[in-house]
């Protein structure tokens, strides 16, 4: 592996901007938690049919997780900055579509694009850290990136609650649009006149103008720009359908369907689709296109699009099986077995493809080192434990002291939130001095201890300052473990595969979160019903009291399971990270330091 040079001022600025983008995209993962009822109203879905709105959430997760490995591989081939910018553009486009959405398909389409764009930021940013810093100095910046990523996950519901207190749900995604565009422009300007190269690890090396994706100097494609304005303007009008225009005798004719009652089979809809088709053709054939579709298409092929699609189907089956389930009744959805069967078949086809492909999505031997594949396994169990904190701590607060305020219940996580980035930064610093397995294990043992304290909470626990000990200890423990996991992965893989490797570790954590929340919640619900029946047998007629006690038993069960997952992650890290030279030492010296 090559050793990156010390970070320049421009490189550090890029890393800061990319980290902000990662935090904002992570916040969007959970931003719909509070906005979902209003979004269901816009899509004309009754609030009693909550399961019909599941694609709004699972669509984002599908885009975020399923396309991550492909985007990570493109970041290895094309470069970090181009992928960061394009990911933000896709995220902004998805935000625009979601803000203008008028039915379930349009909402899901927008959320899927948001997921694709938001997910693409993570592997490119982690790979950027590996490009900028040598192995013995990556711990702290990796801790910062990991901290802001989890910070965003917790801030999402708070951000949504704040906006919804003053504005309709569409404003959330309008803000996303503005932030995405501003960050894309800032990163592009911060990268200088030339983007960083995707062919080598050193971020300071300029891109080769003759390489793929380069464009001749000169004026941009003015015709393409005009077509983009017409296409976007007509599409916005088609989706919004302003009442003043519809009532006008002349302009109203633009909204009369040629057939049926669809919006897109109207004159204005046809204009939008026609202009979009012309824009696509210009991007393919123009000498200086707005978006070099030909170059990006070559990168898709070089990154193994077929393998990426097979892996996306495999991951998508797992996501749909768990994300669409009703945890009060089942671990995975009614169609879950079929989803999982499809996932299994796609996985078999993917593995066979990796053996035959000349340039596979995951290069042969890319994650063969024990710390490399071990980081995926450890990340899975960290995700399974982490989701319990993100979801069940606010649920506990809502069940006990904040029964009438979702916002105040969500604010309980602030105590967890403050400790997590602090732990992430300290964990990154410790990774420079201690073995990554030891730092990860200490963090996860601390998180397990915090969960163990939560299993002793009663209905008045959050009213006492002592509850802060469990919240801070758990948040600090998770933060402590984030950086060394990424450090072990990046130190055990080649520079040329850092993007796809970083994508895989994020995918593993997300899958762990999905499986963990489904399994732990289902087990907890069973304890709820059992505890409720036992309580009613002992206290006949005290329905409210028994309901509260049963809810406490359910949350205690989830916290107990999360503590178990955290301890499994700690043990695996001690065992699997022994050979990770995250301190810039060789294996013998690292093992000698670990005793």
Q: Three-state SS across 477-542?
A: HHHHHHHHHHHHHHHCCCHHHHHHHHHHHHHHHHHHHHHHHHHHHHHHHHHHHHHHHHHHHHCCCC
* Nearby residues of 214 by Cβ (< 8 Å), 6 or more positions away: 207, 208, 295
Domain definitions of the chain by residue range:
1-203, 222-289, 370-595
Domain 370-595 has CATH 2.40.40.20: no
Beta bridge partners of residue 196, listed in sequence order: 206
Q: Are 368 and 357 in contact (CB under 8 A)?
A: no
| 581: CB partners within 8 A, 6+ apart | 135, 491, 492, 587, 590
Q: How far, in Å, CA of 18 to CA of 484, rounded?
A: 20
Position 520 scores a pLDDT of 76
Q: What angle do CA 100, 102, 107 make, to 5 degrees?
A: 75
| Integer Cα distance of 70 and 305 in angstroms | 7
User: Alpha-carbon distance 62 to 110, whole Å?
Assistant: 12
Q: What is the pLDDT of residue 192?
A: 61
Q: Which residues contact 99 (CB under 8 A, 6 or more apart)?
A: 110, 170, 172, 173, 174, 176, 177
The token pair at 221 is 């494609």
Residue 362 phi/psi, 5-degree rounding, is -110, 100
Q: Which two tokens stand for residue 262?
A: 């669809």
Q: How far apart are CA 181 and CA 158, in angstroms?
A: 22
Out of 3.30.465.10, 3.40.50.720, 1.20.1250.20, 3.50.50.60, the CATH code matching 1-203 is 1.20.1250.20
User: pLDDT tens track of the chain, all 595 residues?
Assistant: 444 444 556 767 777 888 888 888 877 776 776 677 788 888 888 866 666 777 787 788 788 777 788 888 888 887 788 888 889 999 999 999 999 998 888 999 999 999 888 888 877 787 777 777 776 676 667 667 766 776 676 677 678 778 888 888 899 899 989 989 998 888 888 776 444 433 334 343 333 333 334 444 556 678 888 999 999 999 999 998 888 888 888 888 888 888 777 788 899 999 999 999 999 999 998 888 888 888 888 888 888 889 888 988 888 888 777 766 665 555 566 777 888 899 899 999 999 998 888 888 888 888 888 999 999 999 999 999 988 887 788 878 878 888 777 667 767 877 887 888 788 888 888 887 888 999 999 999 999 999 999 999 988 888 888 889 999 999 999 989 988 898 888 888 887 787 788 888 888 888 888 788 777 777 777 776 777 677 666 667 666 667 677 778 888 888 999 999 999 999 999 999 987 777 643 333 322 322 3
What 8-state DSSP symbol labels residue 259?
A: S
* Contact between 18 and 187 (Cβ < 8 Å): yes
CB 444 within 8 A of CB 559: no
> In which residue are the tokens 């948001």 written?
114
Q: What is the pLDDT of residue 51?
A: 63
Does 370-595 match 1-203 at the fold level?
A: yes
Nearest-angstrom CA–CA distance, 40 and 583: 50
**Structure tokens given for 75:** 């970041």
Instruction: Look up residue 271 and give its two tokens.
Output: 């204009």
Joined together, the tokens standing for residue 317 give 């089956």
């Amino acid at each position: 592996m090559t050793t990156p040079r010390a970070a320049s001022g421009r490189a550090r600025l890029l890393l800061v901007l990319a980290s902000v983008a990662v935090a904002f995209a992570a916040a969007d993962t959970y931003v719909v938690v509070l906005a979902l009822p209003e979004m269901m109203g816009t899509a004309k879905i009754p609030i009693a049919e909550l399961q019909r709105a599941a694609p709004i959430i699972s669509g984002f997760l599908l885009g975020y997780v399923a396309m991550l490995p492909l985007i990570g591989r493109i970041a290895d081939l094309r470069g970090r900055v181009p992928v960061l910018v394009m990911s933000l553009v896709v995220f902004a486009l998805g935000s625009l579509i979601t803000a203008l959405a008028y039915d379930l398909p349009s909402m899901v389409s927008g959320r899927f694009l948001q997921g694709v764009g938001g997910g693409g930021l993570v592997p490119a940013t982690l790979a950027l850290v590996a490009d900028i810093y040598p192995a013995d100095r990556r711990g702290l910046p990796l801790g910062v990136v990991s901290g802001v990523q989890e910070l965003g996950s917790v801030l999402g519901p708070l951000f949504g609650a704040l906006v919804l207190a003053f504005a309709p749900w569409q404003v959330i995604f309008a803000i996303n649009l503005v932030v995405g565009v501003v960050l894309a422009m800032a990163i592009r300007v911060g990268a200088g006149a030339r983007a960083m190269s995707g062919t080598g690890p050193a971020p300071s090396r300029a891109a080769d103008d003759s390489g793929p994706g380069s464009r001749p100097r000169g004026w941009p494609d003015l015709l393409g720009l005009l077509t983009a304005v017409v296409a976007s303007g007509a599409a916005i009008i088609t989706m919004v359908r302003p009442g003043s225009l519809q009532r006008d005798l002349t302009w109203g004719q633009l909204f009369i369907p040629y057939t049926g009652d669809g919006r897109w089979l109207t004159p204005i809809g046809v204009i939008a689709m026609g202009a979009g088709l012309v824009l696509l053709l210009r991007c393919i054939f123009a000498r200086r296109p707005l978006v070099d579709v030909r170059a990006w298409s070559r990168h898709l092929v070089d990154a193994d699009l077929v393998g990426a699609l097979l892996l996306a189907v495999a991951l998508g089956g797992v996501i749909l099986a768990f994300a669409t389930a009703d945890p009060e009744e089942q671990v995975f959805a009614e169609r879950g077995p079929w989803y999982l069967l499809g996932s299994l078949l796609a996985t078999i086809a993917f593995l066979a493809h990796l053996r035959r492909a000349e340039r596979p999505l995951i290069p042969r031997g890319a994650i063969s080192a024990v710390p490399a594949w071990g980081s995926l396994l450890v990340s899975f169990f960290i995700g399974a434990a982490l989701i319990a904190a993100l979801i069940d701590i606010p649920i506990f607060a809502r069940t006990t002291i904040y029964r009438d305020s979702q916002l105040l219940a969500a604010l309980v996580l602030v105590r967890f939130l403050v400790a997590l980035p602090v732990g992430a930064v300290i964990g990154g610093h410790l990774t420079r001095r201690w073995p990554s397995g030891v730092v990860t294990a200490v963090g996860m043992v601390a998180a397990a201890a915090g969960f163990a304290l939560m299993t002793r909470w009663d209905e008045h626990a959050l009213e006492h300052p002592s509850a802060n000990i469990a919240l801070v200890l758990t948040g600090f423990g998770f933060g402590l473990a984030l950086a060394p996991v990424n450090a072990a992965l990046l130190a055990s893989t080649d520079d040329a595969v850092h993007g796809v490797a970083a994508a895989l570790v994020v995918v593993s954590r997300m899958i762990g979160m999905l499986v963990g929340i489904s399994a732990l919640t289902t087990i907890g619900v069973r304890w709820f019903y059992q505890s409720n029946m036992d309580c009613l047998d002992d206290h006949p007629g005290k329905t409210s009291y028994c309901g509260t006690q049963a809810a406490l038993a359910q949350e205690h069960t989830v916290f107990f399971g999360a503590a178990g997952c955290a301890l499994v992650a700690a043990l695996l890290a001690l065992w699997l990270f022994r050979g990770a030279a995250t301190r810039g030492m060789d294996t013998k010296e690292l093992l000698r330091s670990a005793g």
